[in-house]
Amino acid sequence: MGQDVELAVVFADVVGSTHIYEVMGDQRARAMVSTCIDIMRAATEQHGGTVIKTMGDEVMSTFVTADDALNAAAQMQRDIRLTDGNGSLQVRGQPVALRIGCHFGPVVLENRDVFGATVHTANRLTSQAKGGQIVTTATTCEHLSADWRAAVRQIDIALLKGQGVEVGLYEALWQTEDVTSMVPASYSPGQQGRSRLRLFLAERDLLLDAARPHMSIGRADENDIVIHGTLVSRVHSRIEIRRNKVLLIDQSTNGTFVHMADGEEAFVRRDTLQLRGSGLIGLGRVPEFDSVQTIRFACEAEPD
């Protein structure tokens, strides 16, 4: 009979392995994928995990804690990049990449294998990740230490295959520069000239400041600002005050258009743009001043 336990389950696979075999041929491709598997296995074991099985270009592992799982996943990504430094993991000049999914929850442990909904969720998260990404869930985040919780950000809401409810998707940032960029600005009580932002949508007037430094925008009800539209993603973008700068962070499929009052126009997709002055924001389409889907913004300095 199986044992009911809670574990973090990680699936990691090599992106585009079919293409690798087509380009490099069976022998060379097999050697390259084997190197990737060895890297994933070594990172798992170094952080106290157990490799449950390998399936072609994929490794399934379990960990006692969510921190151990993300530490191992981050090491996999770093070690793949370091190994690629000598050019041994490249296909036609493009580096090989891993995509990783992780979910923490109850599983049935039986005969050195694990079963249950947690396993299926972790597996499906892998398909939501891009090359170089680690994708996890809110449930996993709740089991993380403060350090790791500070290094995750919500990137989308998705209906995973086989599940009847939408699941928030979170990216675990494993590169030092990405984690550093997420650290909120630290203000002393006497600091002057702090930035704040006013957002206007229909009859709403919203304020971002030191007390409320971020808002999410998208068509899902969980967002701070909900805008419905065929071109609007569930979690389309975020606006944050970070180090006294106002940043728009697009997380969408169709991108975000920004028209500044000074005439400057910008388009950002899966990237970050600093907002200055005032202007208009359009989700997935060019903003029109009189549209109910257009957000007006105005950057201000907090009063003394």
Tell me, what CATH number does 148's domain have? Answer: 3.30.70.1230
Say if residue 9 is in the same domain as residue 102.
yes
What does the pLDDT average to over 144-161?
A: 84
Which of 154, 180, 206 lies at the terminal end of a domain, its last residue?
180
Say if residue 50 is in the same domain as residue 97.
yes
Evaluate whether 234 touches 207 at the Cβ level (below 8 Å): no
Say if residue 17 is in the same domain as residue 132.
yes
Predicted pLDDT of residue 1 = 67
Say if residue 15 is in the same domain as residue 118.
yes
**pLDDT digits 0-9 by tens, 26-47:** 998 999 999 999 999 999 999 9
Which residue range forms the structural domain that includes residue 135?
Answer: 3-180
Predicted pLDDT of residue 157 = 76
Strand pairing partners for 208?
A: 197
**pLDDT digits 0-9 by tens, 190-224:** 334 578 899 999 888 999 988 888 899 999 988 89
Say if residue 217 is in the same domain as residue 94.
no
Predicted pLDDT of residue 55 = 93
Per-residue confidence band for 86, with pLDDT thresholds at 50, 70 and 90: low
Say how far apart CA 152 and CA 168 lie, in whole Å. 12
Per-residue confidence band for 85, with pLDDT thresholds at 50, 70 and 90: low
Predicted pLDDT of residue 156 = 77
Query: Is 125 contained in some domain?
Result: yes
Say if residue 46 is in the same domain as residue 140.
yes
On whether the pTM is more than 0.95, the answer is no
DSSP 19-61: HHHHHH-HHHHHHHHHHHHHHHHHHHHHTT-EEEEEETTEEEE
Predicted pLDDT of residue 179 = 52
Tokens at residue 43, please? 């990172």
Query: Is 93 contained in some domain?
Result: yes
Predicted pLDDT of residue 300 = 86
Query: Is 190 contained in some domain?
Result: no
What does the pLDDT average to over 3-18?
A: 93
What does the pLDDT average to over 150-169?
A: 78
Domain count across the chain: 2
Per-residue confidence band for 176, with pLDDT thresholds at 50, 70 and 90: low
Which of 156, 180, 204 lies at the terminal end of a domain, its last residue?
180
Tell me, what CATH number does 200's domain have? Answer: 2.60.200.20
pLDDT, greater one: 273 or 154: 273
Mean model confidence pLDDT for the chain: 87
Say how far apart CA 283 and CA 269 lie, in whole Å. 10
Query: Is 185 contained in some domain?
Result: no
pLDDT, greater one: 66 or 191: 66
What does the pLDDT average to over 229-256?
A: 89
